[in-house]
Structure 1
């Protein structure tokens, strides 16, 4: 399997390609990473150093890959955070190029916009780019529940309203939607009044599946990038959304569990490498439609 992954890169820690590439390689995927930024660390620290690449820079790199024949036999183009229309245009151009050489390739987009607690944390230009131009071109999107609502102009909270929102998203273009953090008010809560479990929902033409894992008391930058990457690879490899959902949930849960045990602000990405291939636990996806 071969994936062209166009995302950010950091030297310290794990987000973007610095989170997605190693887990993909560990499960046997040939990854061609193209960087959109080369930062010292992710922006959650409040300060960072290093350059942003332009859309023209990204096009040049993709052109070089194309000249080597690297866009042949590509299974997927993967993208995450998009800092502006220049990068967005370059990514969409890369998708077009890949599909000319590899007609069966899919475009898997993580539509990074924000979350329920902080709202949208990207510029209005990026909001419009993702909703109006990128999502309609994608074959697979991996929004969280807030991002799903933003894309579809809805406020999903129950399973039924989330499924309805996914149907609206799929009408825009993507055949497959993975909702990466479904939280419902009717679910049990823990002693801290937070949900006791986190669910992910995958919907394709063949149906809808839900998987549940215990909620861990942490959130770490980059976990969504790992989730999108593994689900894309497992879906392309198995052709089965339920299998891809179950495998992804097990691997990401173990990664977060190890990160929590280490007390680390950064994902224990390398230390958790066996979890990508042989996770210790199994979380079965159940059909909900």
Structure 2
């Protein structure tokens, strides 16, 4: 039997189940890889927003990564919420020491409701310690401004943002333009030499909680299965398009994307 591909998420827990580690593990499963996790923080959140979060000790985060990497092995890894400079330093040291790659960095700074998920001292560490290790970094427009100071308002600005992010050391960047105006959502993959544009029609829904996490984890899953970076991003984009189209209301606020969109119409099973 062929070995099952493995992927690791290093991220925070979402008690509402729509984002964070929960979204990553659902996505890994849907994308045919065995998912593993290193929890960085526990958030208190639901469909209305984040009301608090509690960080794990940095050594506990590092030990989780080392435990799975030295036994099971990590085909690819991604980050989500890293919360603090101390956790970022622990993650960076462990990932580098163990040679974990490909390594996808989703530089989560705030929830979809705008609630902060980074301590004030963490942005510099994210920029200086974590990004240089990344195979791919996947920022949205707000995260781009936070990391580089570049305000992306047009398609041309995306090229400037990509260059500014690449200067921080990652091998490639996916500039996510979903919040730009226009009939299509446009993302730009750039590795410093080649630029590839991914364009897709928008879906009319407010229920997109966890969309950034899901795109990054679907891309990570493809990398774990051996896809090239461009092919992995294409797979990630295809998965998130289906998940957004399959999004649903939940609770009183923003519902999640549909991580189970590929199987949501399974036959109903009767209880024996």
TM-score clears 0.5: yes
TM-score of the pair, normalised by structure 2: 0.80
Preserved CA contact (<8 Å) 1:78 1:107: yes
How many Å apart are 1:3 and its aligned residue?
Answer: 1.9
- SS state at 2:55 partner: coil
Q: Does 1:60 align with 2:63?
A: yes
Gap runs ≥5 in structure 2: 265-272
Match of 1:267 in 2: 256
Aligned CA RMSD, in angstroms, stands at 3.0
Match among 15, 18, 21 for residue 19 of structure 2: 15
Q: Does 1:199 align with 2:176?
A: no
Distance in 1, matches of 2:116 and 2:54, equals 24
Distance in 2, matches of 1:115 and 1:18, equals 14
Matches within 5 A, 1:85-234: 85-99=85-99, 105-114=101-110, 122-184=118-180, 195-205=182-192, 207-215=194-202, 216-234=204-222
| Cα offsets for 1:94-150 (capped at 9, x unmatched) | 212330xx5xx2221111224999697633212222122221222210001232233
Distance in 2, matches of 1:52 and 1:239, equals 34
Match of 2:227 in 1: 238
Cα distance, 1:139–1:132 mapped onto 2, change above 3 Å: same
Gap runs ≥5 in structure 1: 185-193, 276-289
Distance in 1, matches of 2:161 and 2:50, equals 34
- SS state at 1:172 partner: coil
Cα distance, 1:44–1:202 mapped onto 2, change above 3 Å: farther
Distance in 2, matches of 1:19 and 1:65, equals 19
Distance in 1, matches of 2:134 and 2:65, equals 18
How many Å apart are 1:25 and its aligned residue?
Answer: 2.0
Distance in 2, matches of 1:40 and 1:208, equals 39
- SS state at 1:212 partner: strand
Larger relative CO (CA 8 A, sep 6+): 1 or 2? 2
TM-score of the pair, normalised by structure 1: 0.76
- SS state at 1:210 partner: strand
Cα distance, 1:81–1:196 mapped onto 2, change above 3 Å: same
- SS state at 1:250 partner: helix
